[in-house]
Amino acid sequence: MNRRSWMAVVALLGACNSTVLTDIKPEVVASPPVLDLGTIVLGSEATGRVGLTVRNGIGSVLDVNLLPTLGEGFAYDGESAFAIDADASNGFDLTFRPTQAGYASALVQITTDGRVKVVEVAVRARAVDADVIATPSIVDLGVVPAGSTASDVIRLENLGALDVDLSSAVGNAPGLVVDATFPLSLVAGGDADLSIAYTAPNDAPMLGNVTFTTGTASITDVVIVRANNCEQGLPSAYDVDEDGVTSCGGDCDDGDAQVGPGQPERLNGVDDDCDRLIDEGTRADDVDGDGYCAHPTACAGSASPGDCQDDDAAISPGAAEVDENGIDDNCDGVIDLGSVDADHDGYGPTGGDCNDNDATRHPGAPELVNGLDDDCDRAVDEGTVVSDDDHDGYCEDLSRCVGGATPGDCSDGDPRRHPGAPELANFLDDDCDHLVDEGTVNGDDDHDGFTEAGGDCNDGNANVNPVRGGCP
């Protein structure tokens, strides 16, 4: 080979070597090959990182594309194109934001400029519903007067294996609020108490609920909240004093078991029997309307005290004394002229005193449970707890009665209410068993928080009601 030919070969080899060196391009490698974001509670999100390395210089990503293979919820929020430096930590984040429970997976396709190569990474995750229960499922705040506030406590329990971060708890009725600081973390197996409060804008019935959310998802367990809804509410919420009468049944003071329809009126300045009259029938009441009551110092209304015979308007401190009638007409303690009053109770034998040796027994004296005729009307213990005042065969005392009556009457002023009487849908304890309206449309017989009148179509099955389902 001559010199000219050898130089041509060398030139050709040099040209070939130059072409090979300049054709080597950067190569992008992604890791890990499978990115597992684990299990999260529906409504929250999880983030994982795809690492990128480059060989042979500086590379670049031209596009990042997600191809769902099962379910959905994966998102890439970064730039579609960016450079990769061989000397720096490179990569990008993927986020899992599920909208429904279950497994999900996707294929991440990364287009690089290394010979326009596509690099793939598999990503997977799982979303589960928050296993949080709220108790009680129904809160009945009872009677809440307009402008006042009633409160109660709801307990949340996390029965799941994952921690749950509650983002909110919201009441959907005006005036119904949840007093808590959010976000509220519930560790797996843990619990927390939330206070709810209702400020009544008026006296109208309120039916609302409290819902709980974690991130973007609602927890299905909700709490029903009621107030001022006696007819359809829980009877126990409207019979706070447990006297057998609810507020919608006529109890004018549900905080006092001795106040309610059928209760005896006492001399105390209170409407004990809820008839809108105070102390009627007692010594403070002007029964005969003569302007005087039998009480010695104070009367109800404008009457004056000191009437010695309050069932006869002709006898009072302002009446004129009539001689020789056996009556103390003017209540001055003297019965006619020359009458004898041995026990100085204001009555002598001619004035009707049935025992002039006992000052506690005379006409107008209070009848006591003592087996005696205290008021000299020839009746024994009438008007007391051992007498059958409404003639239904029962007295109020729990152990004994007079006149052959049977103990246990819970309303001795109403012959329709006594042990053994039929229970009616009237918000009263008719049969005196301390239960109200049991076995009727107003009673919650299966204890699920709903009565038949309140929409329960099967009051013998606690799993069938307007909340749990099964009712149209």
Residue 357 lies in a domain: no
Q: Are residues 111 and 138 in the same domain?
A: no
Helix (H, G, I), strand (E, B) or coil at 430: coil
Q: Mean pLDDT, consecutive 10-residue segments, the chain of 472 residues? A: 42 42 70 95 94 84 94 93 82 94 95 82 94 93 93 94 92 94 93 95 93 88 92 85 86 89 87 87 84 85 86 89 76 72 80 88 92 92 91 93 92 93 93 91 87 86 82 79
Per-residue pLDDT reduced to its tens digit, 204-246: 999 999 999 998 888 878 999 999 988 888 888 888 888 888 8
Q: Are residues 161 and 95 in the same domain?
A: no
Count how many domains the chain has: 2
Q: Are residues 119 and 169 in the same domain?
A: no
Q: Are residues 185 and 168 in the same domain?
A: yes
Residue 468 lies in a domain: no
Among candidates 54, 53, 56, which has minimal Cα distance to 24?
56
Q: Are residues 164 and 207 in the same domain?
A: yes
Residue 107 lies in a domain: yes
Q: Are residues 57 and 137 in the same domain?
A: no
What is the model's pLDDT at position 5? 44
Per-residue pLDDT reduced to its tens digit, 377-425: 998 989 899 999 999 999 999 999 998 999 999 999 999 999 999 999 9
Residue 347 lies in a domain: no
> Among the three residues 180, 210, 227, which one is the final residue of a domain in this structure?
227
Range of the domain at 68: 26-128
What is the model's pLDDT at position 23? 55
Q: Are residues 112 and 149 in the same domain?
A: no
What is the model's pLDDT at position 454? 84
Residue 154 lies in a domain: yes
Given CA atoms 277, 279, 285, 288 in this order, what sign does their dihedral have?
positive
Q: What share of the chain has pLDDT > 90, as a percent? A: 51
Q: What is the CATH number of the domain that holds 188?
A: 2.60.40.10
Residue 321 lies in a domain: no
Tokens 């009051």 sit at which residue?
459
Read off the tokens for 135: 């108790």
Indicate the helix (H) or strand (E) that contains 62: strand 59-70
Read off the tokens for 361: 């027994």
Q: Are residues 98 and 144 in the same domain?
A: no
Q: Are residues 63 and 142 in the same domain?
A: no
CA 129 from centroid of its chain's CA atoms: 26
Torsion angles phi and psi, residue 212, rounded to 5: -120, 140
Q: Are residues 119 and 160 in the same domain?
A: no
Distances from the Cα of 123 to the Cα of 14, 30, 259, angstroms: 47, 12, 70
Residue 3 lies in a domain: no
Q: Are residues 177 and 223 in the same domain?
A: yes
> Among the three residues 98, 128, 158, which one is the final residue of a domain in this structure?
128
> 206: Cβ–Cβ under 8 A, 6 or more apart, which residues?
144, 173, 175, 176, 198, 200, 225, 226, 227, 228, 229
Q: Are residues 30 and 112 in the same domain?
A: yes
pTM over cut 0.85: no
> Among the three residues 81, 102, 128, which one is the final residue of a domain in this structure?
128
> 431: Cβ–Cβ under 8 A, 6 or more apart, which residues?
417, 418, 419, 420, 421, 422, 423
Burial 190-224 (b: 16+ CB within 10 A, else e): eebebebebebeeeeebebbbbbbbbebbbebebb
Residue 401 lies in a domain: no
